Structure 1
Amino acid sequence: MTAAFVAGVGMTKFEKPGKREWDYPDMARESGTAALADAGLEYGQVEAAYVGYVYGDSTAGQRAVYELGLTGIPVVNVNNNCSTGSTALYLATQAVRSGQVDVALALGFEKMLPGALAAGYEDRESPLLRHLLALAELEEFAMPAAPYMFGAAGREHMRRFGSTPEQFARIAEKNHRHSAANPYAQFQDIYSLEQIQAAPMIYDPLTKLQCSPPSEGSAAAIVVSERFLDANGLRDRAVEIVGQSMVTDLASTFEAKSAITLVGADMSATAARQVYAQAGITPDQIDVIELHDCFSTNELLTYEALGLCEEGQGSTLVDADATTFGGQVVVNPSGGLISKGHPLGATGLAQCAELTWQLRGTAGDRQVQGATLALQHNIGLGGAAVVTAYRPAS
């Protein structure tokens, strides 16, 4: 397979639903135009587009990228729950690596309603029903479903390994603090640990400030082959995708009888191991990570799934301030989903944009100094986990 490189990225500011008067074509035009300009390319050079969104009608992907041009290229609509954006990136990367195209666009957007996520259809089984029924055997069912699932996983971790509500709250404090330096973040407010703990309880141990909000916005990436990269003089600013894996639910998801596996820990761990093998790296070499902190509990679980520590030891990283600036590895310098926001279809591509900026050394006040190896983790229940490793091309 040929190598694949991110040559350009772009994103909108993430916004509270209804705050800004725009529709998804406006979002896509803004992020897509920015990504093309960042790469120094024209839309006519793009040979395929993969467009992700969760809430939208069929062929909304075409309508979105028609804002960039009408060139007849294949446009694939992508929906993989909260991992939709990184799935679009995965497909664009596969198209380039296989030699099908030299230039692919991955773009994600989401236009959301305020409040908790709602089912799109009432006349058919929810894709998460099997997960929810399995979890209800372990923890009494509650709504909304997402905080219930990730809150139950946090409770299990507390019972099995002794983690505490304060440690989960400290993760949220970190991410809100990081987002203050991110002009693209939905929230840029710093909260004390006490404020986070005192916020309204959504599902114990998760308070409101430990939960990702509904968000609107878009992000995009241009993925190119090595021959195109060098022929067009793009190497200096590009980052190479040195490992990438997508893993869906395993038998262990249900057989383990564990809330932690039901929210994707085994998917994440399997994808991470595959990426480390592809890239020839180990977790201790990583400088910066953007991971799927849809809830603070999931960030701690993902420390373990990504191999940053042993199983059950995620809380030790929190206590040591090991996942912020000056620590072992900087996790979610963007503010993560909790504070940057979580427009489902755009999240994975916003992570890609952040890590591209970090590896270029252009992330401003949130720059991780000397970053040369970055890891992205994005998960969607139902389910799919996508893990990607990046290095500067030069």
Structure 2
Amino acid sequence: MNVVVAGVGLVPFRTPRHSETYDVMAEQAVRGALADADLEIGDVDQAFAGYVYADSAAGQTALHGVGATGIPVVNVNNYCASGSTALWLGRQAILSGTARCVLVVGFEQMAPGAIGSVFPDRPESLWRFAEARDRGREPSDAPAAAQYFGAAGQAYLDRYDVDVALFAEVAVKARRHAAANPVAVFRDPVTVDEVLASPHVYGPLTRLQCCPPTCGAAAAVLCTPEFARAHGLDPSIVIRAQAMTSDRSDTFEGDAMKLVGSGIARQAADAVYEASGVDPFDIPVVELHDCFTANEIISYEALRLTPEGTSDRFVRSGDNTYGGRIVTNPSGGLLSKGHPLGATGLAQCAELVWQLRGTAGERQVAGARLALQHNLGLGSACVVTLYERLGVAA
């Protein structure tokens, strides 16, 4: 059974200094998604809330402003994949028959600076990752996330003998796409030289190749096709296939790219392609997890958008942007739109729904009927989702 995406909502992303509190942002996003679907909170059977840096039951607090209806509210914390994990759970609830209409919301009120541990008096959840990352490496004061993805980027450069400017090209493309996105944080253009000349962070990464700490919220309303028809909703945008994966034994065996999720992304993507029967070369638009430029390059190949070792040609030929084979991150991605951890997966969902509806404005990918979403959280969780625009009622 296809699951209908009946409505989406998104608040403009902001830097921490200019942000509302998480409950205000979440309420706005939820109201937007309900209005987009032409539904009321009383029509919803269950709710799922994704976030990282908030106390327990923050999902209930976020929904109180919309209406306390007594429905189950499930709180989800899966690092940067929290929003898409909540989306995965919402879809599961519908597929299981326990709900006809669910609300999914993701939000984050982040502090300035690099993310860090909240509970220093106990083992960190990523201690196995840190141990694997630091094996044979000199200690560094760089932010932890930059160390993981910087090491992965250096491993890619070494393996395929490509120039570091390849990563800078991704940052340039992200800004170019974000210029057409009114909710993106960074919309001013940059050049390859400016990206490479920005302050060094770790490995091949400079500051303009790292996503900023961001606050924001996004939401989606999912339902069965029957519920959509009964309520006069548009049933044409559906989740055709979805897969979620977590760490495998080879995650920690010394491959820096697998340590940041390339292996589990490949596993999730392959499961989606097998379930849907869709060839990745037939997908015209994708929102993928570009928390760092290096991860966008690595993800191209993990998702089979281009064969292994060919990302350099993929980028240089323009096949990753408008006029090429597949438009990657038309929203500007995490690098330019912003990365409010719990909201990111639902923001990707919103962008792809708009693309499939044909309402993405200047960002529109012409004729898009399929769209792919990739959301990754270290720890690890990876969710890959395939959306489709149906020509007839679902």
SS at match of 1:357: helix
CA–CA separation in structure 1 for the residues paired with 2:123 and 2:333: 31
Q: Which residue of 2 aligns with 1:51?
A: 49
Match of 1:366 among 363, 366, 371: 363
SS at match of 1:235: coil
Alignment match, 1:383: 380
**Matched position secondary structure for 1:298:** helix
**Partner residue in 1 for 2:101:** 103
* Alpha-carbon separation, structure 1, partners of 2:162 and 2:79: 28
**2:209 & 2:10 partners in 1: Cα distance?**
24
Partner SS for 2:319: coil
SS in structure 2 opposite 1:249? coil
**Corresponding residue for residue 9 of structure 1:** 8
Moved more, 26-35 or 193-202: 193-202
* 8 A Cα contact 2:369 2:390, kept in partner: no
Q: Counterpart of 2:35?
A: 37
1:154 Cα deviation (Å)?
A: 0.6
Q: TM-score, normalization: structure 2?
A: 0.97
1:259 aligns with 2:276: no
Whole-Å separation in 2 of the counterparts to 1:393 and 1:310: 29
Over residues 211-269 of structure 1, what are the superposed CA-to-partner deviations in whole Å (9 max), with x where a residue is unaligned? Answer: 00000000000000111112222236x411001000000111113x1100000000100
SS at match of 2:368: coil
Aligned length: 390
Distance of 2:244 and 2:180 partners within structure 1: 31
Match of 2:130 among 121, 132, 135: 132
Name the amino acid aligned to 1:43. Answer: I
- Note if contact 1:51-1:108 (Cα within 8 Å) is conserved in structure 2: yes
Q: Which deviates further from its counterpart, 166-175 or 141-150?
A: 141-150
1:316 alignment partner in structure 2: 313
**Distance in 2 (alpha carbons) for counterparts of 1:5 and 1:277:** 20
Which residue in the other structure is 2:193 paired with? 194
Letter in 2 for 1:245: A
Write the mapping of 1:329-348 to structure 2, written as runs, cut at 5 A.
Answer: 329-348=326-345
SS of the equivalent of 1:213 reads coil
1:246 to 226, 244, 247: 244
Shift of residue 204, structure 1, vs aligned partner = 2.6
Residues 117, 372 of structure 1: alpha-carbon distance in 2 compared, 3 angstrom cutoff: same
Cα–Cα, structure 1 residues 364 and 41, in superposed 2: closer, same or farther, change >3 Å?
A: same
SS at match of 1:377: strand
Amino acid at match of 1:247: T
Aligned counterparts of 2:113 and 2:359: Cα–Cα separation in 1: 34
Instruction: Name the CA distance, whole Å, in 1 between partners of 2:95 and 2:302.
Output: 27
Give 1:278 shift. Answer: 1.1
Unaligned runs of 5+ in 1: none
Question: Displaced runs of 4+ in structure 1, greater than 4 A?
Answer: none
Tell me, what secondary structure is at the counterpart of 2:16? coil
**Secondary structure, in 3 states, of the residue corresponding to 2:66?**
coil
Residues 326, 126 of structure 1: alpha-carbon distance in 2 compared, 3 angstrom cutoff: same
Unaligned runs of 5+ in 2: none
Indicate conservation of the 8 Å contact 1:330/1:368, yes or no: yes
- Partner Cα separation in structure 1 for residue 51 and residue 372 of structure 2: 23
2:87 corresponds in structure 1 to 89
Correspondence for 2:234: 235
**CA distance in structure 1 between the partners assigned to 2:163 and 2:80 by the alignment:** 26
SS in 1 for 2:172: helix
Q: Is the 8 A contact 1:28 1:67 kept in 2?
A: no
- Name the counterpart of 2:203: 204
TM-score (norm 1): 0.97
1:144 aligns with 2:138: no
